[in-house]
Structure 1
Amino acid sequence: MAEATEPAPNPASPRRGRKRAALGAVAGLGIVAVVYGVAVPGKGGAAACPAAAGTTARLDPLVRGEVAALGLAQPARAEPEISFRTPEGQPTTLAAFRGKALLVNLWATWCVPCRKEMPALNALQRQQGGGDFQVVAVNVDTARLDRPAAFLKENGITDLALYADPSADVLQSLKAQGGLLGLPTTLLIDRNGCELGRMAGPADWASPDGQAVIRALKG
């Protein structure tokens, strides 16, 4: 497996050190054909969201422990333009969720860390999901399209709706709009449609660290 790469570290930056350690843990999982890179949200010419600065400031001291690999957008930017299908098979976009804070997670049944991460995402949705927050887990399997629903059922993932993009175009869109290498990838979106952070690789989002970040995202 290829090792994750990132810019040369600044020895004076404890945050960079934590992220390097988290990415190293991901690489240690021994996953074949999944390469994680360092996402750099907030760049690439996307429109900034200056009103989100307060939320980003609340999030910053909470990016630690189980969610240390989360890269905060500096500055926040408009959510990426990605399309996928609802559980009913209808086309939708992130704009349809405006008014809710979102954790958007891209996953596939063939991705080992994705499968391991799903119970934590399910628990997060059960504990914090509602009118002000939702986990939007988008499956990107392109073959054997019966497998995602079967996986969720077999593993007791009952609180996550099955959003899907069987074309996997969403992966190319995210790569073009801000950086994406490998699965899983997670985005944090505020209720106004601004992307505040992006993570390459899995995390325990149901942990106290993950829960604290989501509470701050909700405001």
Structure 2
Amino acid sequence: MSEGPAAATKPRGILTWALWGAALVGVAAVLYIIVQSSSKPQAPVPGAPAASAPKTLMSKWTPPAKPTPSPDYVFYDQAGKPVRVADFKGKVVVMNVWATWCAPCKVEMPTLAKLQAAYAGQPVEVVAVSIDSEGEAANARLFIASHEPLKFYHDREMKLPFRLDPPASGAPTTVIYGKDGMEIGRVAGEADWSGAEARALVDKALAAD
């Protein structure tokens, strides 16, 4: 008689272990699916927009609509001497309008320094003109000093962007002038000035009569 209850509970124990085993198999199957899904490249969703590629310098390049001379506007060099773009006539001028409060301006400045270094001894002048206030001019000067061989230029009245034709849409704006002082084209926004695209533009300007 004592074997009756034990015999009755035995099938229940077997059933419990079977249920646990099935549950573990199910969990393992779910984990396998998750791992496989994460390790395989996902197929593109039909109709979804493709990821946009970074904009190149030339995709931002805008030639002038008409022959445009440099503005007859005074800014100042690091010694406080008044300067105009026309004073660099005979050189290719890469004029960059920037400010210390402009994050993209500071990001691209090392590439402008590399561009100037690449044309050492040639008639190419990278003119980075700060439009910082007088109170921030000292910080702007220190920032340029850390990016040799660039020189410090300051627009004390902060009006240079509006004297361009057409006016600059914002900072940074970089304008390239030929050796005759006429605008070749410009880039609005941050760009990489250390690469082949920038050198091709400068080389073409240098080769022009």
Provide the TM-score with structure 2 as the length reference.
0.69
Q: Say if 1:102 and 1:188, in contact at 8 Å, map to a contact too.
A: yes
Say what the alpha-carbon RMSD is for the aligned residues: 1.8
- Give matches, 1:2-21, under 5 Å: none
Q: Residues 180 and 200 of structure 1 are in contact (CA less than 8 Å); yes or no, is this contact kept in structure 2?
A: yes
Residue 124 of structure 1: aligned partner? 115
Tell me the equivalent position of 2:147.
157
Q: For each residue in 1:46-89, what CA deviation from the matched residue of structure 2 results, as whole angstroms up to 9, or x when unmatched?
A: xxxxxxxxxxxxxxxxxxx3332010123332222221001110
Q: For 1:205-216, what aligned pairs fall within 5 Å after superposition?
A: 205-216=193-204
Q: In the alignment, what sits opposite 1:166?
A: 156
Name 2:97's counterpart in structure 1.
106
Conserved 8 A contact 1:101-1:189: yes
Q: Structure 1 unaligned runs (5+)? A: 1-20, 27-64
Structure that is richer in helix per residue: 2
The alpha-carbon deviation at position 131 of structure 1 amounts to: 4.0
Matched, 1:134 2:125: yes
How far did residue 128 of structure 1 move? 1.3
Given that 1:101 and 1:217 are in contact with CA atoms closer than 8 Å, whether structure 2 keeps it comes out as yes
- 1:89 is aligned, of 73, 76, 80, to 80
Q: In the alignment, what sits opposite 1:56? A: none
Please tell me whether Structure 1 or Structure 2 has the larger radius of gyration of its CA atoms: 2
Cα separation, 1, equivalents of 2:168 and 2:136: 24
User: 2:137 maps to what in 1?
Assistant: 145
CA contact (8 A) 1:101 1:132 kept: yes
Separation in structure 1 between the aligned mates of residue 88 and residue 70 of structure 2, nearest angstrom: 11
Aligned to 1:189: 177
Instruction: For CA contacts below 8 A with separation 6 or more, give which structure has more relative contact order.
Output: 1
CA contact (8 A) 1:129 1:135 kept: no
CA distance in 1, matches of 2:75, 2:137: 14
Matches within 5 A, 1:35-114: 65-114=56-105
Unaligned runs of 5+ in 2: 1-51
Partner residue in 2 for 1:115 = 106
Q: Deviations over 1:164-190 (max 9, x none)?
A: 11220212222xx31211100111100
What is the aligned partner in structure 2 of residue 198 from structure 1?
186
Secondary structure at 2:129 match in 1: strand
Kindly provide the amino acid, as one letter, of the partner of residue 189 in structure 1: Y
Count of paired positions: 155
Preserved CA contact (<8 Å) 2:102 2:171: yes
SS in 2 for 1:76: coil
Matched-pair contact (CA < 8 Å) for 1:82–1:170: yes
For residue 4 of structure 2, what is the aligned residue in structure 1?
none
